[in-house]
Amino acid sequence: MRKNNPPPFRAFKKFRLKQALQFSSFIYQLGESSLLRQKSTPVNLIALKTVSQQKKIEHLKNYLLRYREITGQGRGITGVQVGILERISVVFTPENELLVIINPVITKTANKKYKYPEMCMSAWPIIAPVIRPAWIEFEYFDENGQQKIWNEKSDTERGRMLNRVFQHEFDHLEGVLNIDYCKGEDLILESDPDFYKTATFQEV
């Protein structure tokens, strides 16, 4: 019998599958629940400081940190990804801080757009090259109920990535995943451990 050449990156793929077995215990995957396709409901700000609501926020923080501990990746998480159908997202910033975003409302988007390959905890291990505005402005509430405004328009690598993460997470609030922006033939599966070492923002 003729022996075919084995597929590449087998060890890395096995390693990533072992990681998936761990985070699959708390992250909803596409097709597992209809929640991922539903719009999240606004958080009742009057009840924001109740024990039950603060526990939800802490759960989200801990799940994001746990995902990062398992995979070494993960820039953001949104409630619906762990079964909380409320408009709450948590983003891990470049300064290693957890930014809680509640009831965000996008008020302005950039005309300039970039394409960048995105991964999603809930559509693992698919990589989707998504086109998004270079930056957005939005209003939101923090975990203490204080109203805030994000309007950083930095075109640095940090600025581009943060603005993209916000948009990615806010899509989850509307029942939208990154793969929805792409044709099937443009999607790829993560297999090359060095893929993101050469990934760049492409202006379109």
Is there a domain that residue 18 lies in? no
Give me the pLDDT at residue 37, please.
Answer: 97
On whether residue 3 sits in a domain, the answer given is no
**Tell me, what's the pLDDT at 25?**
93
Under 8 Å between Cβ of 35 and 80: yes
To the query of whether residue 169 is one of the catalytic residues in this protein, the response is: yes
As to burial, measured by CB atoms within 10 angstroms (0-12 exposed, 13-18 middle, 19+ buried), residue 178 is buried
Answer whether residue 70 is part of any domain.
yes
Task: Please check whether residue 27 is in contact with residue 123, taking contact to mean a CB–CB distance below 8 angstroms.
Answer: no
User: What are the pLDDT digits (tens) for 120-168?
Assistant: 999 999 999 999 999 999 999 999 999 999 999 988 999 999 999 999 9
Question: CB neighbours of 43 closer than 8 A, spacing ≥ 6?
Answer: 53, 86, 87, 88, 102, 103, 141
* 168 annotated to a ligand binding site: yes
Residue 9 within any structural domain of the chain:
no
Nearest-angstrom CA–CA distance, 35 and 123: 14
* Token pair belonging to 122: 């809930």
Indicate whether 53 belongs to any domain. yes
* The pLDDT value given to residue 6: 84
Q: Is the peptide bond before 125 cis (omega within 30 degrees of 0)?
A: yes
Q: How many CB atoms are closer than 10 A to CB 50?
A: 11
Domain coverage including residue 61 = 23-203
pLDDT at 199: 94
Predicted confidence pLDDT, tens digits, the chain (204 residues): 567 788 889 999 999 999 999 999 999 999 998 999 999 999 999 999 999 999 999 999 999 999 999 999 999 999 999 999 999 999 999 999 999 999 999 999 999 999 999 999 999 999 999 999 999 999 999 999 999 999 999 889 999 999 999 999 999 999 999 999 999 999 999 999 999 999 999 999
Candidates 169, 174, 190, 203; catalytic one:
169
Is 176 contained in some domain?
yes
Residue 131 lies in a domain: yes
State the total domains in the chain.
1
List 141's β-bridge partners, or say none: 102, 147
pTM for this structure?
A: 0.94
Q: What is the CATH number of the domain that holds 178?
A: 3.90.45.10
59 is in an annotated binding site: no
- pLDDT at 76 (0 to 100): 98
> Known binder of ligand: residue 182?
no
2 domain-assigned: no
pLDDT of residue 60: 97
